[in-house]
Homo-oligomer: A and B are copies of this chain.
Amino acid sequence: MKILRINTRERTYAYEDMGEYAGLGGRALTSHLVRKEVPANAHPLSKENKLVFAPGLLSGTMAANSGRLSVGAKSPLTGGIKESNSGGMLSQKIAKLGLAAIVLEDKPERDTPFASIRISKDGVEFTDAPDREGKDNYEYQQVLNDFYGSKVSIGLIGTAGEQCLKASTIQFTDPYGNPARSAGRGGLGAVMGSKRVRCIAVDNKGANSVEYADKEAFKDANRRWTKMLKEHPVTGQGLKNFGTAILVNIINEAGALPTKNFRMGQYEHVADVSGERMSELIEQRGGKVAEGCHPGCVMQCSQRYVDKDGNYVTSGFEYETLWGFGPNGLVHDLDLIASMDRLCDEKGIDTIEMANTVTMAMEGGLIEWGDGPASKALLEKVGTDDPMGRIIGNGTGFTAAALGVDRVPTVKNQALPAYDPRAVRGVGVTYATNPMGGDHTTGYAVCQNILKVGGDVNPLKDEGNVELSKNLQIATAAVDASGMCLFTAFAILDNDDAMDIICDLLNARYGGSITPDDVLALGVSTLKDEHGFNADAGFTKHDDQLPRWFKEALPPHNVTWDFTEEQLQEAKKF
């Protein structure tokens, strides 16, 4: 495996041996590289920042659900380190080119034309991005496919990324050719935009397989792995039937569905925006209830949402998006919410960040509570010449500041996802203490707090939740190094031999004798890289806490957030 370094100012490139990065992949690699090579006090949009695309250690193989991509950099949104994890086609194609990472470095002058970069087994080609101006992502994906041919898979930024807005995503081609998969959080699209790169096109023609130390052993381990995933009720059944939107009713029932900017834990119109309702609509209209985000996925938690005429609207339409554009702003029009999901993919902006951003517009009196069309109209401005678009596209904290709002649901300036931390306290601990800012995926305690997968920890009491979040954060960092989908954790948590299987896969792929302890140690070392970077960037324990207004009681359980900074720091003691 090599590291491909691309100088965006000179439009040159070089392949490098792994050196000190040997044995790392995915998030473990992006975070270690950023920690080593990016000064913690560098401006995120400066030439000193680096944007790293790293497939997981198992990406490119036949292992089920191993095709996730890690994208890392110093975040323009949080000012700390960021790994943003995405599905799509690129991870496997990059791995199949024998690359452990692609690193975008340096930056051109401000007025330099945006580049498009094609990467194949023959090297790297630079061209001025063709016919891009003002084009949203779905249309531009078509332009690029016409330009490069349809076999190429694409990672691209939208007009928001071009403007270096802090909520900008990098979108990736899904298996059906749509740019519907996102490295959504932390504004990494702005880093790509600052380097004046609109698109990376990866073509793995002529380089279509990875090598295995022991292919038969790998096949055998993968059989066990696939069986395990298929037999678990969540990864084998639940996700397929309703996608992540199944959580709408579950989290509402638990009194933890943030409603009206985290004022209540239940929403009266929840039935209109439930996963059950979504599946029903999709089936009626001839869409597709279950799809995968990358080849080799056996869970199929994505979907193809279609309008009343059966026309494609969006996919990768997650619970968090549904919640954010829905209940949190008192909106319950599913078609409208789906169209906002699509719009975010078009502009290249993070749905969780944007969902909280439009509630800031409601808090600030710019639009009315429950006015979904007005929310959508604000999103439409992003990436245009309208200065309001620059406010909205810079996210929740920025929009709150522009409008003088003081009820701002962010941690480290990143907006909170769809679980009220007072009523899902394990997730609250994750929000507060993980290195990425307000984020649920880095320690998804919903499993034990609500779903009772892998344990049972009371979501409404403090006891056990710091330890729970800490252990999940370690395990997740390890999973994110592997390229495995986070949702494999459902099955891993319930199967004692899951970690052994993962080690069997790694050892059959690379040779060696990695043990489950080694894998967890990799999780810990990754977190240490991340927290170390953040400390050098100026973060302290005071940043590892929720906004003070979470001390208010949340109905219906009337629970409050009372963890002290000292208690929360325990989640960072490895």
Q: Find out whether the CB atom of B536 lies under 8 angstroms from the CB atom of A542.
A: yes
Counting CB contacts under 8 A, is A250 at the interface?
A: no
A163 in complex: contacting residue of B166, B404, B536, CB < 8 Å: B404
Number of copies: 2
Alpha-carbon separation in the docked complex, A390 to B402 (Å): 6
B-facing residues in A392-417 (Cβ within 8 Å): 394, 398, 401-406, 408
Residues in chain A within 8 A of chain B (CB atoms): 39-46, 48, 76, 110-111, 163-166, 190, 193-194, 365, 386-388, 390-391, 394, 398, 401-406, 408, 536-540, 542-543, 545, 547-549
Q: Find out whether the CB atom of A548 lies under 8 angstroms from the CB atom of B402.
A: no
> CB-CB < 8 A to A165: which residues of B?
404
Q: Find out whether the CB atom of A548 lies under 8 angstroms from the CB atom of B404.
A: no
Q: Give the distance to chain B from A378, nearest Cβ to Cβ, in Å.
A: 10
By Cβ-Cβ distance, the 3 closest A-B pairs, closest first, are A164-B404, A538-B542, A387-B388
> CB-CB < 8 A to A549: which residues of B?
46
Given A365-B110, A404-B163, A404-B190, check contact A548 B394 (CB 8 Å).
no
> CB-CB < 8 A to A402: which residues of B?
387, 390-391, 394, 398
Q: Give the distance to chain B from A489, nearest Cβ to Cβ, in Å.
A: 32
Task: Name the residue on B nearest A44 (C-beta).
Answer: B406
Q: Find out whether the CB atom of B43 lies under 8 angstroms from the CB atom of A548.
A: yes
A404 in complex: contacting residue of B45, B365, B537, CB < 8 Å: B45
Alpha-carbon separation in the docked complex, A190 to B403 (Å): 11
> CB-CB < 8 A to A388: which residues of B?
387
Alpha-carbon separation in the docked complex, A394 to B542 (Å): 24
> CB-CB < 8 A to A387: which residues of B?
386-388, 390-391, 402
Q: Give the distance to chain B from A529, nearest Cβ to Cβ, in Å.
A: 17
Q: Find out whether the CB atom of A45 lies under 8 angstroms from the CB atom of B540.
A: no
A545 in complex: contacting residue of B41, B46, B394, B401, CB < 8 Å: B41
A394 in complex: contacting residue of B386, B401, B537, B543, CB < 8 Å: B401
21 of the cross-chain contacts (CB-CB < 8 Å) are A39-B548, A40-B542, A41-B542, A41-B545, A41-B548, A42-B548, A43-B406, A43-B547, A46-B548, A46-B549, A48-B548, A110-B365, A163-B404, A164-B404, A165-B404, A387-B388, A387-B390, A391-B391, A394-B401, A398-B398, A538-B542
Beyond A536-B542, A538-B540, 19 extra complex contacts between A and B, CB < 8 Å: A39-B548, A43-B548, A44-B406, A45-B405, A46-B406, A46-B548, A46-B549, A48-B548, A164-B404, A194-B404, A194-B406, A387-B387, A390-B402, A390-B403, A391-B391, A394-B401, A537-B542, A538-B539, A538-B543
Alpha-carbon separation in the docked complex, A394 to B39 (Å): 27
> CB-CB < 8 A to A41: which residues of B?
542, 545, 548
Alpha-carbon separation in the docked complex, A402 to B45 (Å): 12
Q: Find out whether the CB atom of B408 lies under 8 angstroms from the CB atom of A43.
A: yes
Task: Name the residue on B nearest A76 (C-beta).
Answer: B401
> CB-CB < 8 A to A386: which residues of B?
387
> CB-CB < 8 A to A42: which residues of B?
548
> CB-CB < 8 A to A545: which residues of B?
41
